[in-house]
Amino acid sequence: MNIVVIIKQTPDTESVIRIAPDNKSIVTEGLKWIINPYDEFAIEAALRLKSKHGGNVTVVTYGPPRVVEALRTALAMGADDAVHVDDPAMKTADFLRVTRALAAAATECDPEIILMGSRAVDYDQGQRGAIVAEMLGWPHLPLAVSLESDGKVVTIERPIEGGKVTLESPLPVLVTLGGSHAIWNPRYASLPGIMKAKKKPLKARKLTDLGLDPADFGPETARIRITSLEMPPQRAAGRMIDDGLDTEGKARELVRVLHEEARVI
Protein backbone atom coordinates (compact mmCIF):
# COMPACT_ATOMS: atom_id res chain seq x y z
CA MET A 1 0.00 0.00 0.00
CA ASN A 2 1.41 3.37 -1.03
CA ILE A 3 0.62 5.92 1.69
CA VAL A 4 1.33 9.65 1.74
CA VAL A 5 1.14 11.67 4.94
CA ILE A 6 0.91 15.45 4.59
CA ILE A 7 2.26 17.17 7.68
CA LYS A 8 2.83 20.70 8.92
CA GLN A 9 5.41 22.10 11.30
CA THR A 10 3.82 24.28 13.98
CA PRO A 11 5.02 26.12 17.08
CA ASP A 12 5.15 23.97 20.18
CA THR A 13 1.83 24.26 22.02
CA GLU A 14 3.74 25.40 25.12
CA SER A 15 5.50 28.24 23.28
CA VAL A 16 4.83 31.85 24.19
CA ILE A 17 3.31 33.41 21.09
CA ARG A 18 4.03 37.07 20.31
CA ILE A 19 2.47 39.07 17.50
CA ALA A 20 4.95 40.68 15.11
CA PRO A 21 4.98 44.48 14.58
CA ASP A 22 3.02 44.10 11.33
CA ASN A 23 0.08 42.65 13.33
CA LYS A 24 -0.32 40.00 10.61
CA SER A 25 2.23 37.39 11.67
CA ILE A 26 3.95 36.05 14.76
CA VAL A 27 7.50 36.46 16.00
CA THR A 28 9.32 33.25 15.05
CA GLU A 29 12.69 33.94 16.70
CA GLY A 30 13.23 31.65 19.66
CA LEU A 31 10.19 29.47 18.97
CA LYS A 32 10.39 25.70 19.37
CA TRP A 33 8.88 23.93 16.35
CA ILE A 34 7.20 20.52 16.31
CA ILE A 35 5.15 18.30 14.02
CA ASN A 36 1.53 19.40 14.28
CA PRO A 37 0.11 16.94 16.88
CA TYR A 38 -2.82 15.91 14.66
CA ASP A 39 -0.38 15.13 11.86
CA GLU A 40 1.49 12.89 14.30
CA PHE A 41 -1.73 10.88 14.54
CA ALA A 42 -1.68 10.56 10.76
CA ILE A 43 1.92 9.32 10.80
CA GLU A 44 1.04 6.72 13.42
CA ALA A 45 -2.03 5.59 11.46
CA ALA A 46 0.09 5.27 8.31
CA LEU A 47 2.72 3.17 10.06
CA ARG A 48 0.05 0.86 11.47
CA LEU A 49 -1.40 0.36 7.98
CA LYS A 50 2.07 -0.36 6.64
CA SER A 51 2.70 -2.97 9.34
CA LYS A 52 -0.48 -4.82 8.26
CA HIS A 53 -0.32 -4.45 4.50
CA GLY A 54 3.28 -3.59 3.72
CA GLY A 55 4.08 -0.82 1.29
CA ASN A 56 5.65 2.59 1.59
CA VAL A 57 5.01 5.68 3.71
CA THR A 58 6.05 9.05 2.28
CA VAL A 59 5.84 12.24 4.33
CA VAL A 60 5.24 15.55 2.53
CA THR A 61 5.49 19.09 3.84
CA TYR A 62 6.43 22.62 2.78
CA GLY A 63 8.25 25.54 4.34
CA PRO A 64 11.71 26.94 5.10
CA PRO A 65 14.77 24.78 5.83
CA ARG A 66 13.74 24.28 9.46
CA VAL A 67 10.88 21.95 8.41
CA VAL A 68 13.49 19.33 7.45
CA GLU A 69 13.69 18.60 11.19
CA ALA A 70 10.00 17.61 11.18
CA LEU A 71 10.55 15.38 8.16
CA ARG A 72 13.55 13.71 9.79
CA THR A 73 11.47 13.09 12.90
CA ALA A 74 8.78 11.40 10.81
CA LEU A 75 11.45 9.30 9.09
CA ALA A 76 12.85 8.32 12.49
CA MET A 77 9.37 7.23 13.55
CA GLY A 78 9.31 4.80 10.64
CA ALA A 79 8.34 6.62 7.44
CA ASP A 80 10.29 5.49 4.38
CA ASP A 81 10.96 8.73 2.53
CA ALA A 82 10.08 12.41 2.54
CA VAL A 83 9.35 15.29 0.20
CA HIS A 84 10.07 18.92 1.06
CA VAL A 85 8.37 21.53 -1.13
CA ASP A 86 10.87 24.36 -0.80
CA ASP A 87 10.37 27.31 -3.12
CA PRO A 88 10.83 31.06 -2.48
CA ALA A 89 7.42 31.74 -4.06
CA MET A 90 5.74 29.74 -1.26
CA LYS A 91 6.66 32.44 1.26
CA THR A 92 3.99 34.77 -0.11
CA ALA A 93 1.46 32.13 -1.14
CA ASP A 94 -1.94 32.05 0.49
CA PHE A 95 -3.50 29.00 2.08
CA LEU A 96 -5.21 27.82 -1.12
CA ARG A 97 -2.00 28.01 -3.17
CA VAL A 98 -0.02 26.17 -0.50
CA THR A 99 -2.60 23.38 -0.49
CA ARG A 100 -2.40 23.19 -4.28
CA ALA A 101 1.35 22.63 -4.06
CA LEU A 102 0.91 19.95 -1.40
CA ALA A 103 -1.68 18.17 -3.53
CA ALA A 104 0.71 18.21 -6.49
CA ALA A 105 3.58 16.85 -4.38
CA ALA A 106 1.35 14.10 -2.97
CA THR A 107 0.10 13.12 -6.44
CA GLU A 108 3.68 12.76 -7.66
CA CYS A 109 4.10 9.95 -5.11
CA ASP A 110 1.23 7.96 -6.70
CA PRO A 111 -0.55 7.25 -3.39
CA GLU A 112 -3.46 4.94 -2.74
CA ILE A 113 -4.31 6.74 0.48
CA ILE A 114 -3.42 10.21 1.80
CA LEU A 115 -3.53 10.89 5.53
CA MET A 116 -3.24 14.15 7.44
CA GLY A 117 -4.38 15.73 10.67
CA SER A 118 -7.90 17.11 10.76
CA ARG A 119 -6.58 20.46 11.96
CA ALA A 120 -3.38 22.34 12.72
CA VAL A 121 -2.75 23.89 16.11
CA ASP A 122 -1.50 27.21 14.73
CA TYR A 123 -4.23 28.82 12.59
CA ASP A 124 -6.72 25.99 13.24
CA GLN A 125 -8.54 26.36 9.93
CA GLY A 126 -9.28 22.66 9.55
CA GLN A 127 -9.53 22.87 5.76
CA ARG A 128 -6.44 21.15 4.33
CA GLY A 129 -7.97 17.71 4.00
CA ALA A 130 -11.18 18.79 2.32
CA ILE A 131 -9.34 21.07 -0.14
CA VAL A 132 -6.75 18.46 -1.13
CA ALA A 133 -9.47 15.84 -1.61
CA GLU A 134 -11.46 18.25 -3.78
CA MET A 135 -8.40 19.09 -5.88
CA LEU A 136 -7.71 15.40 -6.45
CA GLY A 137 -11.35 14.44 -6.94
CA TRP A 138 -10.99 11.84 -4.15
CA PRO A 139 -13.43 10.80 -1.42
CA HIS A 140 -12.74 12.44 1.94
CA LEU A 141 -13.27 10.60 5.24
CA PRO A 142 -12.88 13.19 8.02
CA LEU A 143 -12.08 13.17 11.74
CA ALA A 144 -11.16 9.49 11.99
CA VAL A 145 -10.58 8.06 15.47
CA SER A 146 -9.99 4.57 14.03
CA LEU A 147 -8.74 3.43 10.65
CA GLU A 148 -8.81 -0.02 9.06
CA SER A 149 -8.28 -1.30 5.55
CA ASP A 150 -8.36 -4.63 3.71
CA GLY A 151 -6.19 -3.20 0.97
CA LYS A 152 -9.17 -2.26 -1.19
CA VAL A 153 -11.58 -0.44 1.13
CA VAL A 154 -10.84 1.94 4.00
CA THR A 155 -13.15 2.02 7.02
CA ILE A 156 -13.07 4.68 9.71
CA GLU A 157 -15.01 5.62 12.81
CA ARG A 158 -15.59 9.28 13.58
CA PRO A 159 -17.32 10.83 16.59
CA ILE A 160 -20.73 12.44 16.38
CA GLU A 161 -22.78 13.89 19.19
CA GLY A 162 -23.68 11.04 21.51
CA GLY A 163 -21.85 8.31 19.59
CA LYS A 164 -19.79 7.31 16.56
CA VAL A 165 -20.50 6.81 12.87
CA THR A 166 -18.73 4.30 10.64
CA LEU A 167 -17.74 5.40 7.12
CA GLU A 168 -16.02 3.50 4.34
CA SER A 169 -14.63 4.24 0.91
CA PRO A 170 -12.75 2.37 -1.79
CA LEU A 171 -9.18 3.39 -2.53
CA PRO A 172 -7.91 5.94 -3.41
CA VAL A 173 -9.13 8.02 -0.48
CA LEU A 174 -8.04 10.90 1.73
CA VAL A 175 -8.53 10.54 5.50
CA THR A 176 -8.08 13.22 8.14
CA LEU A 177 -7.28 12.10 11.67
CA GLY A 178 -9.00 13.43 14.78
CA GLY A 179 -9.14 12.19 18.35
CA SER A 180 -6.37 12.54 20.91
CA HIS A 181 -2.96 11.23 21.90
CA ALA A 182 -4.78 8.74 24.13
CA ILE A 183 -6.43 7.23 21.03
CA TRP A 184 -3.50 7.23 18.60
CA ASN A 185 -0.53 7.26 20.99
CA PRO A 186 2.09 8.17 18.35
CA ARG A 187 5.33 6.25 18.74
CA TYR A 188 8.56 7.96 19.72
CA ALA A 189 11.53 8.08 17.41
CA SER A 190 13.98 5.44 18.68
CA LEU A 191 17.75 5.89 18.61
CA PRO A 192 18.12 3.29 15.82
CA GLY A 193 15.29 5.04 13.98
CA ILE A 194 17.06 8.38 14.29
CA MET A 195 20.27 6.89 12.91
CA LYS A 196 18.43 5.24 10.00
CA ALA A 197 16.54 8.47 9.23
CA LYS A 198 19.80 10.17 8.28
CA LYS A 199 20.15 7.78 5.33
CA LYS A 200 16.53 7.75 4.15
CA PRO A 201 15.59 9.69 0.99
CA LEU A 202 14.53 13.30 1.49
CA LYS A 203 13.64 14.97 -1.78
CA ALA A 204 13.46 18.75 -2.21
CA ARG A 205 11.01 19.95 -4.85
CA LYS A 206 10.50 23.34 -6.45
CA LEU A 207 7.14 24.45 -7.81
CA THR A 208 8.38 24.00 -11.37
CA ASP A 209 9.32 20.39 -10.51
CA LEU A 210 5.65 19.83 -9.67
CA GLY A 211 4.43 21.36 -12.91
CA LEU A 212 3.34 24.58 -11.18
CA ASP A 213 4.08 28.17 -12.19
CA PRO A 214 5.74 30.22 -9.38
CA ALA A 215 3.99 33.32 -10.79
CA ASP A 216 0.69 31.82 -9.63
CA PHE A 217 1.95 31.90 -6.04
CA GLY A 218 2.66 35.61 -5.73
CA PRO A 219 0.93 37.79 -3.12
CA GLU A 220 -1.19 39.45 -5.82
CA THR A 221 -2.85 36.08 -6.53
CA ALA A 222 -3.89 35.48 -2.93
CA ARG A 223 -7.58 34.86 -2.36
CA ILE A 224 -7.23 34.54 1.40
CA ARG A 225 -5.38 37.18 3.39
CA ILE A 226 -4.68 37.64 7.09
CA THR A 227 -5.75 41.19 7.83
CA SER A 228 -4.80 41.26 11.51
CA LEU A 229 -3.89 39.16 14.53
CA GLU A 230 -4.90 40.03 18.07
CA MET A 231 -4.14 38.45 21.41
CA PRO A 232 -7.19 37.43 23.44
CA PRO A 233 -8.18 39.96 26.10
CA GLN A 234 -6.72 39.35 29.53
CA ARG A 235 -9.09 37.74 31.95
CA ALA A 236 -10.23 39.81 34.88
CA ALA A 237 -8.89 38.76 38.23
CA GLY A 238 -11.02 36.33 40.20
CA ARG A 239 -13.17 37.68 42.99
CA MET A 240 -13.20 36.12 46.45
CA ILE A 241 -16.38 36.34 48.48
CA ASP A 242 -15.32 36.39 52.09
CA ASP A 243 -15.58 39.63 54.08
CA GLY A 244 -15.72 37.65 57.29
CA LEU A 245 -19.09 36.13 56.43
CA ASP A 246 -20.18 32.73 57.67
CA THR A 247 -21.07 30.00 55.18
CA GLU A 248 -24.70 31.08 54.92
CA GLY A 249 -23.71 34.71 54.41
CA LYS A 250 -21.22 33.77 51.68
CA ALA A 251 -23.93 31.81 49.89
CA ARG A 252 -26.34 34.76 50.01
CA GLU A 253 -23.69 37.15 48.76
CA LEU A 254 -22.70 34.77 45.94
CA VAL A 255 -26.32 34.53 44.80
CA ARG A 256 -26.67 38.31 44.90
CA VAL A 257 -23.48 38.85 42.85
CA LEU A 258 -24.51 36.28 40.25
CA HIS A 259 -27.99 37.78 39.98
CA GLU A 260 -27.35 41.53 40.25
CA GLU A 261 -23.82 41.99 38.92
CA ALA A 262 -22.97 39.05 36.68
CA ARG A 263 -26.62 38.63 35.63
CA VAL A 264 -26.23 34.93 34.95
CA ILE A 265 -29.12 33.80 37.17
Structural domain including 257 reads: 235-265
Question: Does residue 228 sit within a domain?
Answer: no
Question: Does residue 230 sit within a domain?
Answer: no
Question: Does residue 19 sit within a domain?
Answer: yes
Question: Does residue 227 sit within a domain?
Answer: no
Question: Does residue 229 sit within a domain?
Answer: no
148 Cβ contact list (under 8 Å, min separation 6): 154, 155, 156
Q: What is the pLDDT of residue 229?
A: 92
Q: What is the pLDDT of residue 240?
A: 85
Looking at the structure, tell me whether residues 210 and 244 fall in a common domain.
no
9 Cβ contact list (under 8 Å, min separation 6): 33, 34, 35, 36, 61, 63, 66, 67, 69, 70
The model's pTM is 0.86
Inter-CA distances, 208 with 87, 97, 109, 134, Å? 9, 14, 16, 22
Residue 247, phi then psi, degrees to nearest 5: -60, -45
Kindly tell me if the per-residue pLDDT of 50 is higher than 90.
Answer: yes
Q: What is the pLDDT of residue 154?
A: 96
Looking at the structure, tell me whether residues 255 and 180 fall in a common domain.
no
Kindly tell me if the per-residue pLDDT of 243 is higher than 80.
Answer: no
Looking at the structure, tell me whether residues 119 and 192 fall in a common domain.
yes
Q: What is the pLDDT of residue 166?
A: 96
Question: 193-240 pLDDT, tens per residue?
Answer: 999 998 999 999 999 999 999 999 988 888 888 899 998 888 888 888
Looking at the structure, tell me whether residues 147 and 254 fall in a common domain.
no
Looking at the structure, tell me whether residues 205 and 135 fall in a common domain.
yes
Residue 84, phi then psi, degrees to nearest 5: -115, 110
Looking at the structure, tell me whether residues 118 and 248 fall in a common domain.
no
Q: Which CATH number fits the domain that encloses residue 139? A: 3.40.50.620
Looking at the structure, tell me whether residues 192 and 242 fall in a common domain.
no
Looking at the structure, tell me whether residues 206 and 90 fall in a common domain.
yes
193 Cβ contact list (under 8 Å, min separation 6): 75, 76, 77, 78
Question: Does residue 226 sit within a domain?
Answer: no
- Domain tally for the chain? 2
Looking at the structure, tell me whether residues 247 and 211 fall in a common domain.
no
Looking at the structure, tell me whether residues 146 and 20 fall in a common domain.
yes
Looking at the structure, tell me whether residues 175 and 250 fall in a common domain.
no
Question: In 3-state terms, what secondary structure has residue 149?
Answer: strand
Q: How far apart are CA 69 and CA 173, in angstroms?
A: 28
Question: Does residue 36 sit within a domain?
Answer: yes
Looking at the structure, tell me whether residues 82 and 138 fall in a common domain.
yes
